[in-house]
Each structure stands twice: as structure tokens, then as C-alpha cells.
Amino acid sequence: MPLPTLPPSAAGLLPQGRIAFRRFGIYEEDLAIDFAGSDTPALITRLLEQCAQDPEGQLPPGFFRELSAGKRLECLLILAAGPQRPAFSFPFGCAACGEELELELTLEEISSLQQQADQIEAIEVELGGQRVAFRKPKGRDQEDWARTIFQDEGEAARAMLGALAVRGTTAEALDSLAFDRVDKAMDEADPLVNLVCQVSCDACGEQNNLSIDLCETALGMLSRLQKQLILTVHRLASHYHWSEKEIFATPHWRRNEYLELIAAGRHS
Ligand SMILES: [Zn+2]
């Protein structure tokens, strides 16, 4: 599966087309990922690094940490969708009449949103009478913040915006109103992170604003792929009495053939 189109600032880092993602949920190392941990940014980095196929060693160290939060989400959704790339579906109830509705998003739509966002490298917000420029958070910022214990939300906001300010100072000008304004501008510049979709209801015409957590969606799908792999190991081990080592020495496509035989109840 190809990597997404890289933003202008990162495009020069990689030789085009040489590095791809393998599918998740077929190798032994995929069992070692702990989806229950609380450090989500580190989990995302690990998944992307583990599934990046780089036979010529061309991927710069820490490459996925340097991508924006939105770009990392796009990569994670490519892994979650796998080679068949089905659309992501989000069922929900209409806020006005309760009608059961469903929003479908394709990987192409998600990538197109992200590619537009990639054109914006920094945002500017007026704070305390001066224009302050902020860059968008990267994976390494999210990893740092996930490991820091902040006293309260105010301290967290000041630390985060202080780290992201590229021009102008933020220290005095930051009250909660200012923080909300920066937050809103960030959401617009990196729409996948807190995605909101407008969906009108077929039954009553209501415009629903649907908030979608793409990170939770992708991690949920990947965690289910891991559970399927555990089930595969369990079935093959129970049926043929193979060790985990023997099972993983068998290629994925052949494991599937054995599983089909087991399911069909063939004993000879
Ligand atoms: Zn409705």
C-alpha cells in the first residue's frame, strides 16, 4: 500500500514510491502491539514504523514523528483500511428526529482533505494586539505532551502553544478565550484531527454536525485485525498442534488455506 502524498515540507525527505506500507495483522511482531496502553501518540508511531517497508533503508530515523498529526492519521487510516480499502462507515441517529443515518467516508476523500490541509504549514492568530504564528503539531509534539504531567488545562495549553509558536510570544496573551481561538484555527488547518462532517437527514432535512474520531476508528480496526491474527494462531495451534513459531513460519496466504480447510471440516 503506497504512502500518502507528502506535504511540500516533507516531500524531499523520501525517494518517491520506494517505501510502502505492508498490511497489519499478518506477522508475529503484530501480536506485540499493546492497544490497551494510554500513550496513543507512541502507539501510532510504532504502528507506522513497524508496517513501513523500507528494503533499502531510505526512511530517515524518526520520519513518522516529524509528520503532522493529520498526516499521521491519514497513514494510520491507510493501514486500517488495508489493501481492499473499503469505505469507513459511521452510523448515527439524526439529532432532530432520531432517524438512523450512516455517513460513509472513502480513503480518497480523507486523503483529499489532508492534501488540502498539507498546503497550510502555519496558522496566524491575533493575540493581545499582535499576530502570532503557530506551526501545526507533529507526532513528536504529541509524544512529548502525552508523557508530560500538567498541573491543569491552563498549564497544558500554555506549554503546547509555547512549543508551537514560531513567531511572536504567547506567554502574556494567553487566556482561555485566546486558547479557544487558536484551537479553532488549528482544527481548520488540520481537519482530520477533530473531524466534523455536515450530514443532512433524509427524513426531516435537519443538518447534523457529526464529530468523528478518526484515530479511535483506525485503532479500533487495527486492534480487530490483531484479534483475528490471535484467532488464526489459536485455530491452527488447536487443529494441527503447531507451535506459534511454526505458524508464523507459514506464509499468510497458506495459513488462510489451512483455515478454510479447518472451517470446511476436512480431516484428510
Ligand atoms: Zn432527521
pLDDT digits (tens, 9 = 90+) for 11-54: 777 776 678 999 999 999 999 999 998 899 999 999 999 999 98
Q: What is the pLDDT of residues 42-62, one digit of tens each?
A: 999 999 999 999 888 888 889
CA of 199 to the centre of ligand 1 (A): 10
CA of 97 to the centre of ligand 1 (A): 4
CA of 89 to the centre of ligand 1 (A): 18
Of 88, 53, 67, 98, the closest CA to residue 208 belongs to: 98
Residue 247, C-alpha cell as written in the block: 505458524
C-alpha–C-alpha distance, residues 182 and 178, integer Å: 6
Between 78 and 8, the more confident residue is: 78
* Residue 28: predicted pLDDT: 94
CA of 212 to the centre of ligand 1 (A): 18
CA of 202 to the centre of ligand 1 (A): 7
- Cα–Cα distances (Å) from 25 to 50, 87, 197, in that order, read 11, 19, 30
- Report the mean per-residue pLDDT for the chain: 91
C-alpha–C-alpha distance, residues 257 and 147, integer Å: 44
Report the 10 Å Cβ neighbour count for 222. Answer: 24
Does residue 115 carry a pLDDT above 90?
yes
Question: Residue 184 — φ and ψ, nearest 5°?
Answer: -65, -45
CA of 245 to the centre of ligand 1 (A): 53
The DSSP string of 197-220 is EEEE-TTT--EEEEEE-HHHHHHH
C-alpha–C-alpha distance, residues 54 and 58, integer Å: 6
Between 175 and 159, the more confident residue is: 159
CA of 216 to the centre of ligand 1 (A): 26
* Residue 171: predicted pLDDT: 60
**Contact status, residue 125 vs residue 132, Cβ threshold 8 Å:** yes
Residue range 62-68: average pLDDT? 94
CA of 198 to the centre of ligand 1 (A): 13
CA of 96 to the centre of ligand 1 (A): 5
CA of 203 to the centre of ligand 1 (A): 5
- The percentage of the chain sitting over the pLDDT mark of 70, rounded to a whole number, equals 96
CA of 227 to the centre of ligand 1 (A): 36
CA of 91 to the centre of ligand 1 (A): 13
C-alpha–C-alpha distance, residues 243 and 249, integer Å: 10
Identify which of 8-17, 170-179, 201-210 has the greatest average pLDDT. 201-210
What angle separates helix 69-81 from helix 139-147, to the nearest 10 degrees?
100
Q: What is the pLDDT of residues 223-253, one digit of tens each?
A: 999 999 999 999 999 999 999 999 999 999 9
Residue range 141-163: average pLDDT? 90
CA dihedral 32, 36, 39, 45 (to 10 degrees): 40
* Residue 267: predicted pLDDT: 62
Does residue 167 carry a pLDDT above 90?
no
Confidence of residue 121 (pLDDT cuts 50, 70, 90): confident
CA of 208 to the centre of ligand 1 (A): 8
